[in-house]
Amino acid sequence: MRGVYVSDVGMTRFGKREESLTKLMHEALMSATGGGPPEGIDAVFVGCMNPDEFTGDGNLATLVTDHLGIRSAPSMRIDNAPASGSAAFEAAFFSVASGRYDNVLVLAGEKMSGISTAEAIRILSKMIDRTERDLGATLTALAALVARRYMHDYGLSREDLALVPVKNHGNGIKNPFAQFQKEVSLEKALESRMISDPLRLYDCASICDGAAAAFLTSERTGVQVTGVGHATDYVPVQLRDSLTSLHATKVAGERAYQMAGRKPGDIDVTEIHDAFSILEIINSEDLGFFPPGEGGKALAEGRTGMGGDLPINPSGGLKARGHPVGATGLAQVCEIVWQLRGEAGERQVEGAKVGLTHNIGGFGNNNVVTILEGRA
């Protein structure tokens, strides 16, 4: 396989947006090109979870090439639940690595606010196993079951769990693309509405709109994609061996580290999937940054904050940046590319050379890990 590099990235601000999905993708594309027309694109990979139900439009891969003026280029849509953005990036990566294409465009997005919240939750809940769904389980309920067991096994306090949204909202203040750019106090997080005990509103990422874009090329640039790992696990939580660790993250992480020839200790900055607060802590352990049960302690000690030895989610993560499901994985890539180029402004992690993204599809059962490295 030959080297694959990122040339340009861009994204829209996430949040409740009036524009259509294709307009949001155009805005992300223009953000990446600096306003210029898309030229010399050999293929387009579109990550989106469910445009048919969220927006009423199907055939998105072609709708995008039409609306964005990229006629003739082959275009395909990748649906990998909320890991659609990173899976589209993965497919694009291999298309360049294989030698088939030299320059490809990855677009990812979701438009979720055009329908009622209840309807959006109904659509999102389809990724849950039917027997669990038929009992009234929601994604938050599954995360709550995991959180309860984790807190029991490792003695994590409710206050320490709330440090995840507090940290990530603090980071989001400095991200102009984030949906939420204001501080959330520990008290506010702890007093927010109970959704599924012990998880409260501030433990959960939002339902919103947004898009991201990235160009991959065989020509050497300042950022190389060095590792991609992807793994699945059972859909029902009741089939899983562990309730405090995600098998798909562990295996995806091992695959990405092996491909990149890297180990957890080499990572300088990371964007990991905090759709629910407990997941950030569990992910930080499954990816090998901290031993099992110690992710919460590392957070409480500030090790994963902006001044720590491994800043997690400098963008604000899914919690503060917002979580338009299909867009998230590619927005994570955007953030890491900016970090590696030293272009992350006030949220810059000094001297970041190796970055990692981790994106979850389903409730922790179709996960993608990507490693990117700065090449001076």
Partner 1 sequence: MKGSTCSCGKTVAVVREVCPQCGRAAEPVELSEEAVVLTYTTVHVAPEGFEAPIHLVLVGLEKGAKVMCESKVGEMEIGVKGKVVEEEGKFYFVS
Site for partner 1 in 238-257 (CB under 8 A): 238-241, 243
Please, how many CA atoms are within 13 Å of residue 326, restricted to the half-sphere of its CB? 29
Nearest CA among 104, 102, 49, 100 for reference residue 73? 104
Report if residue 120 touches partner 1, rule: CB under 8 A.
Answer: no
Nearer to partner 1, 198 or 342 (CB): 198
Nearer to partner 1, 60 or 141 (CB): 141
Residue from 34, 135, 351, 376 touching partner 1 (CB under 8 A): that is: 135
DSSP class of residue 204?
B
DSSP characters over 249-293: HHHHHHHHHHHHT--GGG--EEEE--SBHHHHHHHHHHTTSS-TT
Report if residue 131 touches partner 1, rule: CB under 8 A.
Answer: yes
Report if residue 234 touches partner 1, rule: CB under 8 A.
Answer: yes
Other C-beta atoms within 10 Å of 331: how many?
32
Provide the b/e sequence for 269-286 (b: ≥16 CB within 10 Å): bbbbbbbbbbbbbbbbbb
The residue range among 23-31, 125-133, 215-223, 337-345 that interacts with partner 1, by the rule CB under 8 A, is: 125-133
Smallest distance from the beta carbon of 297 to partner 1, in angstroms?
Answer: 21
Backbone angles phi, psi at 337, to 5 degrees: -60, -45
Please, how many CA atoms are within 13 Å of residue 315, restricted to the half-sphere of its CB? 33
Q: With contacts defined by CB under 8 A, how many residues of the chain interact with partner 1?
A: 35
Smallest distance from the beta carbon of 146 to partner 1, in angstroms?
Answer: 7
C-alpha 284/C-alpha 245 separation (Å) is 10
Residue from 3, 74, 222, 236 touching partner 1 (CB under 8 A): that is: 236
Residue from 149, 158, 255, 341 touching partner 1 (CB under 8 A): that is: 149
Nearest CA among 299, 348, 340 for reference residue 168? 299
Report if residue 182 touches partner 1, rule: CB under 8 A.
Answer: no
Smallest distance from the beta carbon of 206 to partner 1, in angstroms?
Answer: 14
Nearer to partner 1, 6 or 204 (CB): 204
Residue from 22, 50, 95, 140 touching partner 1 (CB under 8 A): that is: 140
Report if residue 127 touches partner 1, rule: CB under 8 A.
Answer: no
C-alpha 125/C-alpha 49 separation (Å) is 13
Q: Are 54 and 115 in contact (CB under 8 A)?
A: yes
Taking the C-alpha atoms of 219, 220, 221 and 227 in order, what is their torsion angle to the nearest 10 degrees?
Answer: 100
In sign, the C-alpha dihedral spanning 90, 93, 94, 100 is positive
Report if residue 32 touches partner 1, rule: CB under 8 A.
Answer: no
C-alpha 15/C-alpha 37 separation (Å) is 25
The residue range among 60-68, 102-110, 132-140, 219-227 that interacts with partner 1, by the rule CB under 8 A, is: 132-140
Smallest distance from the beta carbon of 45 to partner 1, in angstroms?
Answer: 29
Report if residue 237 touches partner 1, rule: CB under 8 A.
Answer: yes
Report if residue 144 touches partner 1, rule: CB under 8 A.
Answer: yes
Report if residue 145 touches partner 1, rule: CB under 8 A.
Answer: yes
Query: Strands, DSSP E only, in the chain?
Result: 4-11, 43-47, 75-78, 103-111, 194-196, 199-200, 209-217, 223-232, 269-272, 354-359, 366-374
Smallest distance from the beta carbon of 147 to partner 1, in angstroms?
Answer: 8
Residue from 8, 90, 132, 285 touching partner 1 (CB under 8 A): that is: 132
Report if residue 194 touches partner 1, rule: CB under 8 A.
Answer: yes
Residue from 152, 182, 220, 263 touching partner 1 (CB under 8 A): that is: 152
Report if residue 61 touches partner 1, rule: CB under 8 A.
Answer: no
The residue range among 98-106, 138-146, 282-290, 366-374 that interacts with partner 1, by the rule CB under 8 A, is: 138-146
Report if residue 191 touches partner 1, rule: CB under 8 A.
Answer: no
Report if residue 98 touches partner 1, rule: CB under 8 A.
Answer: no
Report whether the peptide linkage leading into residue 37 is cis, meaning its omega lies within 30 degrees of zero.
no
Residues of this chain that interact with partner 1 (CB under 8 A) are 118, 121-122, 125, 131-138, 140-141, 144-146, 148-149, 152, 193-199, 234, 236-241, 243
